[in-house]
Amino acid sequence: MRDGMAPAHRSGEELSYWVHIYPARLAPLPPEAWELSDHGQVEPELDTWWVVLPLWTVNAGRSDLSLEATVREQSARVTVQVEGVHVL
């Protein structure tokens, strides 16, 4: 981890490692997580969006972690690529 950010373009296994060493256990997202998310369209790719989603922990609620992802819609199919987990 460098500057509070897991290195970009890592495998799912590597991202899992960074989340595993975080001192708290992650919890399922509450409905308000989506309201607190940040997102925008990637230009000029009209079918692609960037998303930053706050994460929650079991004991403390909203944490200082966020998930960063790219969302694409192609041929009526939506894919989500997790880019990283960031500590604020």
Distance CA 7, CA 18 (A): 10
> Taking a C-beta distance cutoff of 8 angstroms, is the pair 29, 53 a contact?
yes
Which residue type does 72 have?
Answer: R
What pLDDT is recorded for position 31?
92
Gap between the Cα atoms of 55 and 6, Å rounded: 15
Residue 20, pLDDT score: 83
In our burial notation (b when 16+ CB lie closer than 10 A, e otherwise), range 17-49 reads: ebeeebeeebeeeeeeeeeeeeeeeeeeeeebb
Domain parsing of the chain, residue ranges: 12-87
The tens-digit pLDDT sequence of the chain (88 residues) is 344 444 455 567 888 887 888 888 999 999 999 999 999 999 888 899 999 999 999 999 999 999 999 999 988 899 999 888 888 7
